[in-house]
Amino acid sequence: MFCPSGHILDAVGKKLRLFSHYSCDRCHERVADRGGRYHKCSHRCPYRVCSSCYAKAEAAHYVLEPCVSGFPQGLGPLSSHKTALTSLSLQPFDVQCNAWVKPLLGGLWSMGSTFFKKTKGTHRLWNVLAENGLTISIPADVFDQQPTNGVTVQVSLAAPVNLPENIRRSIGVPDGPGMRIAWIYPLEVDWQLLLPALDPGALDTPEFSLLTIGGFIYFRESSNETGPQRIEKLSAMSVAFSARGALQFSTPQEWLPEWTHTLAQKGRWHPVTAQKFAAAGAKYMSWIRPEDPIVAPRGLHGGFVFLFREFDERETKGDALFFEVTASAGSGGPSSTVQSMAASLKAFPPRLMSSAFAFSLAGDAQNASPRRWGRTVSRYLKAARESRWALVGHLLGEWPQLAPEVDEDGKTVLHYCAEKGLVGRRAKDILTALYRGGASLEVEDKGGRTPWDLGDKTFRALSSQVWGHIPDLFQDPEVWFEFWDKSRNGFLEPEELVPALAAAYHTGELGKQWIETYVHAHYRELAHGALLNKERMLGDGGLLHQLQSSEEFIALRANEDLPTAQMPAIFREEGLGRKPVEFEKDMLAAFAAHMDELRRQHGWLPNTPAPRTAKLLEVPAPFAGGSADESARLQAAREMLAWSFTKTSTSSQWQEGFQVAFKGGGEAGIDEGGLTKTWAQEIAHALWADDMFFDTKSSFAFFKPDDTNDFLLHCFHVKAESLYRWTGKFLAYCAYFGLVLDCPLSPWALRWVLRAATRINSAPPELIAIAGDWQPPSGDVVSIAGESLFIKANETDRPLEVPITARDGHIHATLRGKELHAVVQKDKMHWSDGTVWKKCATKGSLYVAAPSWPNTANGDDTMLEDLATMDGPFANSLWRVHHEMPASDLQWLTFSYAGVELVPGGEDIEVNDSNKSQYVRLCCQAALLQGASSGLQAFAEGFFEVLPPSMLQGLPIDALRWQLLGEDQMTEEQLSLLETLVIPEGLVPKHLSDNPTLCETARWVFRIARNSDGKFRSRLLEFWTGSSRLPQGGVDAIAPRPRLQVMVQAARPSQGAIWEIQLQDGWYFYDSGTAEALTKAQDAGQSAVEFRVRDNRYVLNLQEMVQINLRTGARRAVRRRDPPDRDEEAAQERATGVRRIETWPATRLPEGHTCGNELWVPLCHSEEELSKLLHMAVMNFEAGFALA
């Protein structure tokens, strides 16, 4: 018998000692109750079984426990996905030999072109294969049709399917006698050459995966004894990595060198094409069929073996890993003492980190019963008829699909909004929800009237604005004015101006009346007795300016919707745009200084190359065309993400940093240098450019629901939790290095990290001291974080959370239904039941305590504030339930939301004034903690691996968002500060930084920026530094310090011959003293001159006109020219003291070099010339392109 790690258990059992409390790791019974003898692993791992289980296992050959580690420490689990491949497209005919082969022996089979026409991706692949001459001709009798084309595929040896019935059903093995299993290897073509020609969106299909990675085929051959043995029935399955996959594998098993040679002799090794395996170093793979005699008695159910070397390389121990298929299904019972302990926990409220509760912010009508849905629709329409708008808004947030529903009169809620004159901020919220839910302004009721017909001018203006039919006053004021200028005469009439302004400000009826009075009172005055034009409406001192500065109007708008209570600012649209105040800026500066000091400790110094301790991270280069081709850019970014994930997902060197290098570029990333910044921006683009890895809601992205198992990352599958954990590491790395990037991740995800850190840091010192992972005698890992102990019940669900306390010098917890206490001595925890836990050597904890909020009024407000960062309208609706909704409306609600009961029996519990606080709290908890709990947990775990909770102590709740996003606009103040930093200290060449011409050209750059709009400034900043955003500390925090290089050099000597040397970017002249000495030597007939510059000695061969560095041997061409004529250019050169570098004429476009944050500009004749060149370069460079 073998332990889960593949080690042999001792055949001779040991007798249980007196007072020992060992339990069997197979049956989970006490050894004392099972005969008193146990067998232990020979490799001294803590795996034990009782003698009864050992005897049963020996009688049944052996049992392997499934492995859950990532490759190459583990393989799988794998899920099966049925493909369109059948016996009509695959037969055992070897075209090369022009003969049928026996199906059981595998070999080269023929795959017809009909299979490739099943999906868009494979059809395109077929065309690419045909264009590259990789197809073959297949005789007519192979597929009982006309001669066709196809490809040859390699199929392994076949064997009978001997898996248990439950696993056969779960992985889709066809029913029937005589079914065989074989592995079909991927097409052996140059995928790196072919993939760029394919549509990335078409690659995520089982058929394409079958061709690129391989898959299983299950078949039954015909019983023809005389003719060829054709395939009679065939089903093909591709495989994908899935946490709940039914096909599981053991830990790496022992593999003998002679088995490698035997497989090689039989031609059973095949190149690895899956990037997940190749990136880990695997070169070749082979499928070992069930009960294969080569590895007997191993391989009872088959397995995969991977070879990690070339065949001409020297053999080493462990250069091949064998992963055997286990006979246990993915949903098996517990297999350890700790799991039994977790299963016995009772009277414990369900933890909000559990993924069993499939909650989402919005319900799905398809999942609701007809009775529930009918009752919900009736309640929704009745609330609209009775003008219960708070209730209508709440129901729309719960069920967006209600928006287009109609009543018996054919009316939608939009009809009632128009009829009843719904106005104010609440009107915009409800209309926005109706618009997102699919409501239409053109639906007619039974009387033939649309909402547009029923509404007044204010309703029409507001609904048109929500539906996007009219521009926004505050985003596009001039376009807004032109829209409302119906006569196109350049003026606005009072009759159109009043409803337009009321809609723009979302005022209530009282506000609308006030605007009407104000407009009529001031219109003629501002229009000077005529009509109001654009300048008198929008200009300084115009009507809009006076209206916005009126204290009476401001007070009116603040109170008209909420006469009894003031809605918290965080729930309004401007809440998420809050900037840090002074004391928060100080805390952010202290955090940045801490990160800077930590980087210095690891060798990262400003303006210096990466230290030797940094790990080389070589990844594919970004798409050179940038955003000019979004599809190509995203494909390249996803490939970069795949390589970055593979090379760093298991790395513990994140704080040591990575030296980024692009394949083929040959450049190294430096501290906040161009390559590192480009890498971060492209990784962010790969993660959040679409909804492949994250759900998109409004302008934010959030984690996929808990039932999402895996993702296709470039060309291989990864577990969802693994990618989210890596995303946490990536964002922590960006915060650690002060990288600013476009991160649309929901602010709640970053708040979650800080809330969890606060909870962990607030634990008593005694618990902080023992935080981390502990190993009970069973060998499993138990984690302690904050005031919680995490016990993992199985490999698919999140761990159970058990409260622990520290008092009287002991640790207290309820385990196995018993109140236990423990004493910690050094690295051991001694429990009162005799169990001893050992401290693991790993840093930190495997799991993170979820955020919690005090059960107080302030705690409720904080929870709503957090919810507003994720879904403002939902938080707004819950706030109104808590503070505004009358009891007559509350009784329509129950303790369920989006079809999910918030408490057992919640569908039958009505909400009232006494329990509405609990209802709101449960809704918040479900939305914040349960919808994507696995993703949030994994994200935080990854973040804390790079930046532990202790480093985040005391930070403002939005600190991480501010740190990562920085400032999205460069203000006049920041622009002036940047100018002060650059002129003259940041001017290049340094020895000319005080030159008036150089300084004047630099000032032109800043004047051009001031006279341009915000978009140009952002693009200029990205062109200059690699990021369109400023760090949170402003331009002072940009590192390295920005520099501006005017491409000039000192003026040439005024007399005598000119001597120049050719460097990489053009010809540069010698100083006047050296030039004079060279002239004299050549005129005197000398053949060579030796001279010294600093520590280098040179010889200038006057016959070959070559300068030689005597230390390095480097040779450079030199030339002698007569002085220029005394023309205008020469005169200007003498007047300014500088001249243009030969390769940088006045017409050359500026360049941005983001590695050193440098902007290079030519010396132009005027500011206008430079402005044209700078605008052309800045506005036309492509985002995502590595400028460095």
pLDDT number for residue 822: 92
Q: How far is CA 1088 from CA 1060, 1077, 1084, 1096, in A?
A: 16, 11, 11, 17
Gyration radius (Cα) of the chain, Å:
36
Rounded mean pLDDT, 596-604? 89
Confidence bin at 350 (pLDDT 50/70/90): very low
DSSP label of 143 = T
pLDDT number for residue 693: 92
302 near 289, Cβ under 8 Å? yes
The vertex-582 CA angle with 580 and 586, nearest 5°, equals 95
The DSSP-derived string for 728-781 is HHHHHHHHHTT------B-HHHHHHHHHHHHHHHTS-HHHHHT-EEEE-TTS--
Q: Which of 33-37, 279-283, 587-591 has the lowest mean pLDDT?
A: 33-37
Q: At what angle do helices 457-466 and 425-436 cross, to 10 degrees?
A: 50
- Residue 357: φ, ψ to 5°: -95, 100
Q: How far is CA 20 from CA 3, 17, 46, 828, 1031, in A?
A: 21, 6, 14, 18, 60
Q: Which of 554-558, 1131-1135, 1148-1152, 1178-1182 has the lowest mean pLDDT?
A: 554-558
pLDDT number for residue 548: 67
CA 1062, CA 594: separation in Å to the nearest integer? 46
- List all residues 6 or more positions away from 200 whose beta carbon is below 8 Å from its beta carbon: 631, 634, 635, 638
Q: CA torsion angle for 123, 127, 130, 136 (degrees, to 10)?
A: 10
Q: Judge residue 366's burial from the number of C-beta atoms within 10 Å of its C-beta, 0-12 exposed, 13-18 middle, 19 or more buried.
A: exposed
* Residue count (the chain): 1188
- List all residues 6 or more positions away from 66 whose beta carbon is below 8 Å from its beta carbon: 76, 77, 248, 249, 250, 326, 328, 330, 795
Longest dimension (CA), the chain: 112
CA 152, CA 111: separation in Å to the nearest integer? 6
CA 900, CA 878: separation in Å to the nearest integer? 17
- Whether 1185 has a pLDDT exceeding 80, the answer reads no
Sign of CA dihedral 663, 669, 674, 680: positive
Q: How far is CA 1063 from CA 1067, 1070, 1114, in A?
A: 6, 12, 11
DSSP label of 668 = -
- Residue 88: φ, ψ to 5°: -75, -15
Quick: pLDDT tens for 895-923. Answer: 888 777 888 888 888 899 999 999 999 88
- Whether 352 has a pLDDT exceeding 90, the answer reads no
Q: How far is CA 243 from CA 247, 627, 707, 796, in A?
A: 10, 35, 10, 6
678 near 687, Cβ under 8 Å? no
pTM of the full structure? 0.59
Identity of the residue numbered 786: G
Quick: pLDDT tens for 364-419. Answer: 666 667 777 888 899 899 989 988 888 888 888 888 888 999 999 999 999 999 88
- Portion of the chain with pLDDT greater than 90, in percent: 11
DSSP label of 1118 = E
Confidence bin at 343 (pLDDT 50/70/90): very low
pLDDT number for residue 1076: 82
- Whether 93 has a pLDDT exceeding 70, the answer reads yes
- Residue 482: φ, ψ to 5°: -65, -30
CA 667, CA 230: separation in Å to the nearest integer? 56
The DSSP-derived string for 678-706 is HHHHHHHHHHHSSSSSEEEETTEEEEPPT
Long-range contacts of 921-924 (CB under 8 A, 24+ apart): 921/855, 921/860, 921/863, 922/895, 923/878, 923/897, 924/860, 924/863, 924/864, 924/866, 924/867, 924/878
Q: CA torsion angle for 582, 583, 585, 587 (degrees, to 10)?
A: 170
The vertex-641 CA angle with 637 and 642, nearest 5°, equals 120
Reduced to 3 states (helix: H, G, I; strand: E, B; else coil), residue 623 is: coil
Q: Which range, 28-37, 345-354, 401-410, 575-584, is most confident?
A: 401-410
Rounded mean pLDDT, 478-507? 73
Tell me which of 680 and 840 has the higher pLDDT. 680
- List all residues 6 or more positions away from 380 whose beta carbon is below 8 Å from its beta carbon: 392, 395, 396, 399, 402, 405, 413
- Whether 841 has a pLDDT exceeding 80, the answer reads no
Q: How confident is the prediction for the chain on average, in pLDDT?
A: 79
């009507």: which residue's tokens?
543
Residue 1074 Cα to chain centre, angstroms: 59
pLDDT number for residue 355: 25
Tell me which of 577 and 1141 has the higher pLDDT. 1141
- Whether 347 has a pLDDT exceeding 50, the answer reads no
Locate all alpha helices (DSSP H) within 810-871, ordered by sequence: 857-870
- Whether 60 has a pLDDT exceeding 50, the answer reads no
Confidence bin at 1027 (pLDDT 50/70/90): confident
- Whether 1162 has a pLDDT exceeding 90, the answer reads yes
Q: Which two tokens stand for residue 47?
A: 């795996």
1126 near 1066, Cβ under 8 Å? no
- Whether 742 has a pLDDT exceeding 80, the answer reads yes
- Whether 357 has a pLDDT exceeding 90, the answer reads no
Long-range contacts of 691-695 (CB under 8 A, 24+ apart): 693/723, 694/745
Q: Which two tokens stand for residue 815?
A: 């385990």
- Whether 831 has a pLDDT exceeding 50, the answer reads yes
CB atoms near residue 1048 (< 10 Å): 23
Q: How far is CA 64 from CA 164, 249, 262, 324, 503, in A?
A: 14, 8, 25, 8, 69
Identity of the residue numbered 238: S
- Residue 174: φ, ψ to 5°: -60, 145
Q: Which range, 59-68, 486-495, 588-597, 837-846, is most confident?
A: 588-597
Reduced to 3 states (helix: H, G, I; strand: E, B; else coil), residue 377 is: helix
The DSSP-derived string for 115-128 is HHTSSHHHHHHHHH
Quick: pLDDT tens for 245-289. Answer: 778 888 788 788 888 888 888 888 988 877 667 767 788 999 998
Confidence bin at 753 (pLDDT 50/70/90): very high
CA 243, CA 388: separation in Å to the nearest integer? 46
pLDDT number for residue 69: 53
- List all residues 6 or more positions away from 880 whose beta carbon is below 8 Å from its beta carbon: 390, 393, 394
pLDDT number for residue 341: 33
- Residue 978: φ, ψ to 5°: -65, -40
109 near 152, Cβ under 8 Å? yes
pLDDT number for residue 808: 82
CA 1034, CA 597: separation in Å to the nearest integer? 19
Confidence bin at 1014 (pLDDT 50/70/90): confident
- Portion of the chain with pLDDT greater than 70, in percent: 80
- Whether 932 has a pLDDT exceeding 90, the answer reads no
Reduced to 3 states (helix: H, G, I; strand: E, B; else coil), residue 804 is: strand
The vertex-701 CA angle with 699 and 707, nearest 5°, equals 145
Q: At what angle do helices 720-736 and 582-601 cross, to 10 degrees?
A: 100
Beta bridge partners of 93: 100
Rounded mean pLDDT, 207-222? 86
Relative to beta strand 716-719, strand 99-100 is unpaired
Quick: pLDDT tens for 621-639. Answer: 888 777 777 888 888 899 9
CA 1030, CA 468: separation in Å to the nearest integer? 31
Strands (DSSP E) along 418-538, which ranges?
Answer: 491-492, 532-533
pLDDT number for residue 661: 86
- Whether 218 has a pLDDT exceeding 70, the answer reads yes
Beta bridge partners of 769: none
Identity of the residue numbered 167: I
CA 936, CA 80: separation in Å to the nearest integer? 27
